[in-house]
């Protein structure tokens, strides 16, 4: 069973000419340099700490960050600046999921600004096939502590909000409602990002409420399932059952997850069972099971597979073929982060699948939490940096050989 899949995987994603056709030699050199640095976990940790210290000391580091890690993983400081990347990707049939990636803010002004940015994205995306989705991080429009307080309420545990918190909750609903209403009016699907487990029940509750309201004719509101949690398969089945019973569509983005160390550490410190799977194999198995379940219910589900895992991507392709689901089916999308796994993204687009890049933008200093996660995750994911380097080096060799044969800069 494994052997044919591995052969298929190689066929699907090994064409480096397609993978890097939008990168010139300078871009390749920059990526090669950055991923080589990321091979060293100690160096990444030191870089992260020094960057945070520099921010606290108000040192002028934005220029250095923007020319290095920011250039690799972000599309620009403003929405207008990001449009250049959107158009660049669109020429190769790759869509963009624009994300105003500003974190750690907690003022009403910040929340209102984020809401306005998301609505701007929706309006730009309206009728634009280059931007088929957008996204919403609820901690961008409400305090993390508020969502943590609402979380027990979401699962039926008695919890009292004080007058200030009740007002905050009302304002959160109003911001979320305005965003989802615009998504519905413009017919631009929006997915709620998954976050830490201790606020995720609140996010699930709010996402479900919006799905019930706006997904009566199509899946406009999507939610995100982190499959490194052992309870997500049961949640997916429950949501499908409710959707069929109550006659609404659901949108599902599948990811593996981004907060594993934080989740395990908190569970250990507070003495409860960790929500994280026991091992990576269990996560991989549940991810593929979730793919199968979504495809089996494709009549009511819009699926976005957010993965850099070639085996899982291949599994999805094989299952689509098995079920007779065409490559460009409007309810099946693939997605990878900007700056990573171009061999998957561009080869999928070349084969006619719906594929997107998750495209963060925002001021350099405000996007640093996102950038630090990208750097740390790349060092933590087994083989991720090695795969990136291997593909880049293969493409450099291919171009060198092509230049020798033709005497051009091919």
Non-local (6+) Cβ contacts of 62 within 8 A are 364, 365
- Per-residue tokens: 322: 């098995």
**Share of residues in the chain with pLDDT > 70 (%):** 87
DSSP 354-399: -EEEEEEES-TGGGHHHHHHHHHHHHHSTTHHHHHHHHHHHHHHHH
Whether the per-residue pLDDT at 67 is higher than 70: the answer is yes
Which is it for the CA torsion 137, 140, 142, 146, positive or negative?
A: positive
Q: Which residue has the higher pLDDT, 387 or 128?
A: 128
Kindly state the DSSP code that residue 193 receives in the 8-state scheme: P
Look up the CATH number of domain 75-361: 3.20.20.220
Name the one residue in this structure whose structure tokens are 């819009």. 302
For the chain, helix (H) and strand (E) counts, in that order, are: 18, 8
Three-state SS string over 173-229 comes to HHHHHHHHHHHHHHCCCEEECCCCHHHHHHHHHHHHHHHHHHCCCCCCEEEEEECCE
- What would the pLDDT profile of 126-176 be if each residue is shown by its tens digit? 999 999 999 999 999 999 999 999 988 766 677 789 999 999 999 999 999
Q: How many C-beta neighbours within 10 Å does residue 392 have?
A: 24
| 222 φ/ψ sector (left φ>0, alpha ψ -120 to 50, else beta) | beta
Helix 108-125 and helix 163-186, axial crossing angle in degrees, nearest 10: 10
How far is 35 from 390, CA to CA, in rounded Å? 10
Q: How many C-beta neighbours within 10 Å does residue 388 have?
A: 24
pTM exceeding the 0.85 threshold for the entire prediction:
yes
The answer to which of 58-67, 165-174, 256-265, 313-322 has the lowest mean pLDDT is 58-67
Phi–psi pair at 215, nearest 5 degrees: -105, 40
Q: What is the pLDDT of residue 260?
A: 85
What's the full length of the chain, in residues? 410
How far is 188 from 181, CA to CA, in rounded Å? 10
Non-local (6+) Cβ contacts of 170 within 8 A are none
- What would the pLDDT profile of 88-99 be if each residue is shown by its tens digit? 999 999 999 999
Whether the per-residue pLDDT at 356 is higher than 70: the answer is yes
Domain segments of the chain as ranges? 1-74+367-410, 75-361
**Share of residues in the chain with pLDDT > 90 (%):** 69
- Bridging pattern class, strands 332-337 and 301-306: parallel
- What would the pLDDT profile of 220-245 be if each residue is shown by its tens digit? 999 999 999 999 999 999 999 999 99
Write down the mean pLDDT value for the chain. 88
Q: How many C-beta neighbours within 10 Å does residue 405 have?
A: 9
- What would the pLDDT profile of 10-34 be if each residue is shown by its tens digit? 578 989 999 999 899 999 999 988 8
Q: How confident is residue 65, by pLDDT bands cut at 50, 70 and 90?
A: confident
Non-local (6+) Cβ contacts of 198 within 8 A are 148, 151, 266
């Amino acid at each position: 069973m494994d052997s044919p899949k591995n052969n298929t995987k190689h066929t699907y994603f090994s064409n480096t000419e397609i993978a890097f056709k939008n990168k010139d030699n300078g871009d390749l050199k920059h990526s090669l340099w950055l991923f080589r640095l990321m091979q060293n976990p100690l160096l990444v940790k030191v870089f992260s700490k020094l960057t945070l210290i520099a921010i606290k000391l108000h040192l002028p580091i934005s220029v250095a960050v923007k020319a290095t890690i920011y250039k690799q993983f972000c599309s620009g400081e403003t929405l207008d600046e990001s449009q250049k990347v959107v158009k660049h990707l669109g020429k190769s049939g790759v869509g963009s999921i624009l994300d105003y990636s500003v974190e750690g803010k907690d003022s009403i002004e910040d929340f209102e600004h984020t809401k306005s940015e998301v609505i701007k994205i929706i309006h730009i995306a309206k009728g634009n096939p280059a931007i088929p989705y957008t996204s919403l991080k609820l901690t961008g429009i409400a305090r993390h502590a508020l969502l943590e307080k609402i979380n027990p309420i979401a699962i039926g545990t008695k919890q009292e909000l004080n007058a200030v918190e009740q007002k905050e909750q009302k304002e959160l609903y109003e911001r979320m409602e305005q965003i989802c209403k615009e998504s519905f009016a413009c017919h631009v699907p929006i997915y709620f990002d998954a976050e830490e487990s201790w606020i995720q029940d609140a996010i699930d509750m709010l996402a479900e409420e919006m799905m019930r309201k706006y997904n009566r004719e199509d899946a406009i509101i999507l939610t995100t399932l982190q499959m490194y949690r052992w309870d997500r398969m049961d949640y997916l089945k429950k949501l499908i059952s409710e959707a069929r019973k109550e006659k609404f569509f659901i949108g599902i983005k599948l990811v593996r997850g981004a907060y594993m160390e934080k989740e395990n550490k908190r569970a250990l410190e507070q003495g409860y069972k960790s929500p994280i799977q026991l091992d990576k194999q269990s996560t991989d198995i549940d991810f593929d099971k979730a793919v199968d379940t979504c495809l089996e219910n494709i009549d009511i589900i819009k699926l976005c597979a957010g993965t850099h895992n070639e085996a899982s991507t291949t599994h999805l392709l094989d299952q689509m073929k098995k079920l007779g689901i065409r490559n460009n089916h409007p309810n099946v999308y693939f997605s990878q982060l900007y700056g990573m796994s171009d061999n998957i993204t561009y080869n999928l687009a070349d084969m006619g699948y719906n594929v997107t890049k998750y495209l963060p933008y925002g001021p350099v200093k405000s996007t640093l939490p996102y950038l630090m996660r990208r750097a740390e995750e790349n060092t933590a994911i087994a083989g991720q940096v090695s795969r990136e380097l291997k593909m880049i080096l293969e493409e450099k060799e291919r171009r060198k050989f092509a230049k020798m044969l033709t005497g051009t800069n091919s």
